[in-house]
Structure 1
Amino acid sequence: MSSRKRFWQSVSVGERDGLFSPELDGRPIRLPQGTVLAVASQSLAQAIAAEWEAIPKDASFTPEQLSMTRVAGTMIERIRPDLIEAREALLRLGLDDGLCYRKGPADSTVERVFAWLATQGIRPEVTDGLMPVTQSGDYVTGLERLLSRQGEAELAALGVLTQCFGSLLLSLALLYDAISLEEAVFVANADERQQLLVWGQDDELIRIMAIREKDAAETIQFLKLAQNT
């Protein structure tokens, strides 16, 4: 991804019409489609401002260094205009959820995820084979109902976490505190851990696992700040 150099001298947070906007040299940050980056949570705006302030003077940077900014931008320009489509996109991922494909013995964390899902009326079909599973109508209805409760910040976080974990179900369980962040990452890293056991040291696999943990932690932090209004 192409880099840019820091061009601003100061970072602050402005307020207008009940929204908080990180500002560079007194000017609001504009997202790719031209929308001003402004959020309802002052805490989130301050965290976004801190990302920009942390970039050293005259240093090059990429969007990868601005995790809060990226998730907030997705929330504002992609999710806010059409929450229904955002929920439907997540539902499509949940119809072929990675958690429904078992490999090896049952994992206690996964079993707790399924137990929590059952309390939400969601009982997925699972398989230890390679063929896709077809979920029941009740599963679809339950997942639709759960997704309908999610606002723009939750949908933005779920989008990142689902891509990160390869599982909407695991992401939902994390959002609802049915499991911890550490437990979710442990489950998501299962394939990489198995490969390391079989093949030994692999720096690329270790890098992938570390990035997954970092992305998940930053996304959960984004959501906590966004909910602090």
Structure 2
Amino acid sequence: MRDIFEEIFKGEPLDPMELARRSVRPNRRKRFYETAAVVEDDNSFVIVLDGKTVRTPARHLLAAPSRALAQAIADEWQAQMDVIDPAKMPLTRLANSIIDGVAEKPAEVRDDIVKYLGSDLLFYRADGPEGLTERQAKAWDPVVRWAADTLGARFVMVEGVVFAAQPKEAIAAAAQAIPENIWRLGAVHSIMTLTGSALLALALAHGAIGAEDAWKAAHVDEDWQMEQWGRDTLAMERRAHHKAEMKAATDVLEWVR
């Protein structure tokens, strides 16, 4: 079934950062199968359409390391109606990214997370107004304290947007919390690019913050701006799309240990 992914997912990046950032307008193909299901094969859970295996754009088997995750991917396929719409299949998209991208170059993905730790969203605080600074502190300080107390990573907070180098020791300490498992690594990277914060992604992966709180923390500045100047319809549409991608990544963290 190579043509499925070549036609439907054509043009989608394998790089997990680009996959998370881009809202690709996908090709659509008429649904051609009756049933999407999962079969177990050698400690892997394979997605099948009418009993036939499916392959990713890079020709790898579309399979997951846990039955729950594989079933959720199969459910996305089963939920498609007359046409197959990848925009409504965030878990399948993320699985493609992890299987074809992260698994091939895990060190590069890890290095990208480390790079983010050097200039994380949570370190750059507004110098006013008071209402915004209070919201940032309320949403971000608990995660920064978790990094210091649990990981031994003591970062420097900066007022304004001028870059300030973080202590190498802090970055190295936080980097120890980056998952080794490629599925969890891919999920953390996706969350990082969606939220703009590696620290939020790591805190979520380690249970130090909930998914909804992490999502709200990532949008403190944007929400403040919209309260002052009005809602941005396009921004809210992008956010809805990204939140679906975020849920897919948090589902991976929940179902892959």
Tell me the TM-score normalised to structure 2 length: 0.81
Which string of whole-angstrom CA distances, capped at 9 and with x for unpartnered residues, describes residues 81-111 of structure 1? 3322221121112222111111242422311
Structure 2 residue matching 1:20: 3-state secondary structure: strand
Paired residue for 2:61? 36
Paired residue for 1:165? 195
Paired residue for 1:131? 162
Aligned partners of 1:189 and 1:209 also within 8 Å:
no
User: What is the aligned-residue RMSD (CA, Å)?
Assistant: 1.7
Paired residue for 2:211? 181
| Dislocated runs of 4+, deviation >4 Å | none
Cα distance, 1:63 vs. partner?
2.0
**1:210 to 2:235 alignment:** no
Pairing partner for 1:140 from 171, 191, 202: 171
Aligned partners of 1:101 and 1:128 also within 8 Å:
yes
Amino acid aligned to 1:200: G
Cα distance, 1:5 vs. partner?
2.0
Amino acid aligned to 1:170: L
Tell me the TM-score normalised to structure 1 length: 0.90
Which string of whole-angstrom CA distances, capped at 9 and with x for unpartnered residues, describes residues 8-37 of structure 1? 122221222221101112111110100011
Task: State the distance in 1 between where 2:117 and 2:29 align.
Answer: 37
Paired residue for 1:200? 230
Task: State the distance in 2 between where 1:159 and 1:134 align.
Answer: 22
Pairing partner for 1:85 from 108, 113, 116: 108
Matches within 5 A, 1:15-164: 15-56=40-81, 59-103=82-126, 104-106=132-134, 107-118=137-148, 119-147=150-178, 149-164=179-194
Show structure 2 runs of 5+ residues with no match. 1-24, 127-131
Aligned partners of 1:158 and 1:172 also within 8 Å:
yes
Amino acid aligned to 2:255: L
Cα distance, 1:44 vs. partner?
1.1
Task: State the distance in 1 between where 2:160 and 2:250 align.
Answer: 32
Show structure 1 runs of 5+ residues with no match. none
Aligned partners of 1:192 and 1:205 also within 8 Å:
no
Structure 2 residue matching 1:49: 3-state secondary structure: helix
- Segment of structure 1 superposing worse, 7-16 or 21-30: 7-16
Which string of whole-angstrom CA distances, capped at 9 and with x for unpartnered residues, describes residues 162-216 of structure 1? 1110111111111212122221111111122122112123322332333343332
Aligned partners of 2:122 and 2:144 also within 8 Å:
no
Aligned partners of 2:28 and 2:85 also within 8 Å:
yes
